[in-house]
Amino acid sequence: MENYKARIIDKKIDKYLSVFGAICIEGPKWCGKTWTSSYHSNSEIYIGDPSGNFQNRQLAQMSPSLVLEGETPRLIDEWQEVPPLWDAVRYKVDQIPKKGQFILTGSATPNHKGILHSGAGRIARIRMRTMSLYESGDSSGDVSLEDLCNGKLTPKMTGEVDLKNVIEFIIRGGWPASLGLPIESAALLPKEYLEAVLNDDIYRVDGVKRNTHKMRLLLRSLARNESTTVSNKTLKNDIKEIDDEDIDTATIADYLNILDRLFITDNQKPFSTKIRSSVRIKQSEKRHFCDPSLVCALLNITPHMLLNDLETLGFLFESLCERDLKIYAESIDAHVYHYQDYKNREIDTIIELNDGRWCALEIKLGANQIESAAENLKKIYKEMEKDPKSILPSAMIIVCGLSNAAYQREDGIYVVPLTALKD
């Protein structure tokens, strides 16, 4: 495909197509699913195509098996608009045991109603996100996350990082359509994205009408609490306090579920399985939008505002890092968590490798915060050492915004700029 911009997920797609009869690429709208899937396919059908009075959708509804005909891998874009297509693909894969027959894409997870079978073993799900800094060309890729997790780093100068550039990365986000645009223009895309979600997608996902005003209030509250472990109850109180609008916790839970099914939120689960500590682990997810630009859009944040509010900038930088770390980690079959115990000891990011090893990462915007981050990591490490059941981290890493070098400290902790990272 001419002018295709390579994505980190490409390798995973190729691998899964060689193992499974079909794959389903899921993720937020406008993150590049269709473009990437088309690159990997030999024929395609777009269910949402409006031409011919949405004839593709009508055909899929009348005879799902017919739209499966074509050279493989065959792309079926936005399959969730006609849920029976899932069963049709599963049946076809059962009938013809050939690998890599279909690529499904979806920007929403439909209700199980209308889907008879899970597709387990036949249809593999792959999560796609907005572009990382390495994919957009804003990270040099001098340092591999995989190498870091395996204790490998060649020290190098990575160049000065302008704070204004970091702010632009946050406000612009990782939307492919925003690349190369002036920041004022790029900032319009996440705003329009949210309007499309509120005015259309929250209804289309399951056909249930919801109060868009209250949904907007919830989104704003989530934006104010980005990169925190805020509870549903606190979200309710926050909405009441700031917007003088009451909303019950059951409604909040329902709305949060919808946001998750639309891949708008991308929360960070708590890590506890490999730390057998005497200290109890909190089981709260850390709240994140799928892209930090959505927070900026919801709170009408400008570059000037962030320059004058370093605390908010710190939370948004963490969100930017978590997005990229998820993309890099998943490419090496690793998972991203956070750590928080009941003594309020925290580690920003835990990367659990597929062999059971894990790495502890702290995220800091300024180079002047590196020392405090290192002290936090060492303190928690020493506490874990006291418990013979603890599995200690195989690497400790500080991801920094404004550092100009990647290196290993004398205490063994790695320091690496976000703008030098890749998978």
* Alpha carbons 291 and 293: distance in angstroms, whole number: 5
Q: Are 227 and 323 in contact (CB under 8 A)?
A: no
Q: Work out the number of other CB atoms within 10 angstroms of the CB of residue 277.
A: 18
Side chain identity at 75, as an amino acid letter?
Answer: L
Q: Are 399 and 321 in contact (CB under 8 A)?
A: yes
Q: Share the mean pLDDT of the chain.
A: 91
Q: Which value, to the nearest 10 degrees, does the dihedral of the CA atoms of residues 210, 214, 216, 217 take?
A: -160
User: 């915004």: which residue's tokens?
Assistant: 401
146 burial type by CB count under 10 A (0-12 exposed, 13-18 middle, 19+ buried): middle
pLDDT band at 280 (very low <50, low <70, confident <90, very high): low
Does the pLDDT at position 113 exceed 60? no
256-275 pLDDT per residue, tens:
999 999 999 999 999 875 55
Higher-pLDDT residue of 52 and 93 is 93
Can you give the pLDDT at residue 120? 62
Q: How far is CA 131 from the centre of its chain?
A: 10
Task: Please state the φ and ψ torsions of residue 114, each to the nearest 5 degrees.
Answer: 95, -10
7-17 pLDDT per residue, tens:
999 999 999 99
352-362 pLDDT per residue, tens:
999 989 999 99
Q: For the stretch 201-233, what's the b/e string if a residue is b when 16 or more beta carbons lie within 10 angstroms of its beta carbon?
A: bbeebeeeebeeebbbbbbbbbbbbbbebbeee
- How do 123-127 and 22-26 pair as beta strands? parallel
- Order of all β-strands in the sheet with 358-364: 156-157, 405-408, 414-417, 395-400, 358-364, 346-352, 335-340
Q: Average of pLDDT values for 323-349?
A: 92
Please tell me the pTM assigned to this model.
0.93
Q: Which two tokens stand for residue 350?
A: 């835990």
Ordered domains of the chain (ranges, CATH): 9-127 (3.40.50.300), 133-422 (no CATH)
Q: Which helix (H) or strand (E) holds 36?
A: helix 33-40
Give every CB contact of residue 12 below 8 A, 6+ residues apart in sequence: 126, 330, 331
* Alpha carbons 239 and 144: distance in angstroms, whole number: 41
Q: Are 28 and 288 in contact (CB under 8 A)?
A: no
Does the pLDDT at position 131 exceed 90? yes
305-335 pLDDT per residue, tens:
999 999 999 999 999 999 999 999 999 999 9
* Alpha carbons 48 and 36: distance in angstroms, whole number: 17
For residue 73, whether the previous peptide bond is cis, meaning omega lies within 30 degrees of 0, is yes
